[in-house]
Amino acid sequence: MDFTLSMEQRLLVDSSRRLLADISPVGAVRRLATAASLDGADGGYDPQVWQRGSALGWAALPVPEEHGGLGQDLVDVALIAQEHGRAVQPGPLLSNALVAFAVAECPRPDLRAAVLPALAAGEETATWAFAEPRQPWDATGIAARAAADGDGFRLTGVKTAVQDAGTARWLLVTARLDGRLAQFLVSRDTPGLTVRRQQTIDITRRLDEVRLTDARVPATALLTEPAGAEASVAALLRRGAVLISADSVGVGERLLEMSVGYAKLRVQFGRPIGSFQAIKHKCANMRMWLQTSKAATYYAAMAVAANTADAAEAVSIAKAHASEAIAALAGEALQLHGGIGFTWEHDLHLYLRRAKANQVLFGAPSLHYEYLAAELAHRARQA
């Protein structure tokens, strides 16, 4: 399969990389993270960076053209997610794109017209409240409940690892209505909805706990009825797994660059440590893990965008492999840097934290291995 970027994609990637290097380098990300940890600042990202990125098309990529967007598929969003990983960039790119995909595909023209133009312009953001505490990151882990209440619904439950919920205008809440999955687009200022910032290993991004306590929403908040919610949720989970894998690939790219650069400069016994065979082997393994992760992630993005028969399988392969390979790459980068890599002042730990968090988001490798094992067992029974 040809993974060569088109001229338009190359331009988008290059302009995004330059933008992040100019106005949101790693030092700026570190300052945001430090401010949040010291004084409890609410914002997890710089809104000006998101606005500048939206001017390049970040927010508009998944939104159909008739609603002010660019009408692009998952591949283009994954390329920008990869750049976010390279810069350990915070911001609502991933969560916003998932909600935009969900709204664009919902059978509600009124909702599409009310929400998508604001998302495409970067004027408002949205996030997906899906995962729940101590539950697997799939449909079986959903315990949040929705109950009919007059001309609306009441939502009850707790969601975890919701990215940038504190600044989002809308939350896409997955809950069970009469025992079946349903999706609700809920305003953040809904009474009974509270947001609490979580302390996680990844200090470069804001992840929140969202608690719904008899939060009443109107009937118009029902985005996807139970009849179509299962397929919608499955599609969003696949997209989320691809985007978080692309973020990991970006993390791996930057870590490899940092490690090779350090190996060329660090002198031991009168020679650069990059001349030692053991260091060469480490760098070769890191390169191999990065290349295989990139190939698996790109293929999964293309498979999902084309809705191929093996899309679900490709996503699980990419998520499981990239999660483990990039985490291993980060560990080798830490060892290669030696003592300086363990210091707070060095940027390496920001990437290591991001890689480890990405392992869990949208399903740990063990969950995706279970999916793959079930698919292989199904094929064996069919043979």
pLDDT at 28: 94
Give burial (CB, 10 Å; 0-12/13-18/19+) of 309: exposed
CATH code of 228-382, in short, is: 1.20.140.10
Q: Which CATH superfamily is domain 7-125 in?
A: Acyl-CoA dehydrogenase/oxidase, N-terminal domain (1.10.540.10)
Q: Where in the chain is the domain with CATH 1.20.140.10?
A: 228-382
pLDDT at 279: 94
pLDDT tens-digit map of 163-179: 999 999 999 999 999 99
- The DSSP secondary structure of 44-107, one letter per residue, reads SS-HHHHHHHHHHTTTTTTS-GGGTS----HHHHHHHHHHHHHTT--SSHHHHHHHHHHHHHSS
- For the entire predicted model, the pTM comes to 0.95
pLDDT tens-digit map of 13-32: 999 999 999 999 999 999 98
Question: Does the pLDDT at position 216 exceed 90?
Answer: yes
What are residue 156's DSSP bridge partners? 145
What are residue 210's DSSP bridge partners? 159, 195
Q: How far is the C-alpha of 93 from the C-alpha of 119, rounded, in Å?
A: 11
pLDDT at 38: 54
Sign of CA dihedral 156, 195, 171, 12: negative
Which of 107, 233, 112 is CA-nearest to residue 174?
A: 233
pLDDT at 41: 55
**Which of the two residues, 383 and 269, has the higher pLDDT score?**
269
Question: Does the pLDDT at position 67 exceed 90?
Answer: yes
When mean pLDDT is compared across 3-7, 124-128, 379-383, the lowest value belongs to 379-383
Question: Does the pLDDT at position 118 exceed 60?
Answer: yes
Span 67-76, mean pLDDT? Answer: 96
Span 32-52, mean pLDDT? Answer: 78
Q: Where in the chain is the domain with CATH 2.40.110.10?
A: 128-227
Q: Which residues, 6 or more positions from 98, have their beta carbon under 8 angstroms from its beta carbon?
A: 128, 172, 236, 239, 240, 243
CB 213 within 8 A of CB 147: no
Question: Does the pLDDT at position 227 exceed 90?
Answer: no
Say if domain 128-227 classifies as CATH 2.40.110.10.
Answer: yes
Q: Where in the chain is the domain with CATH 1.10.540.10?
A: 7-125
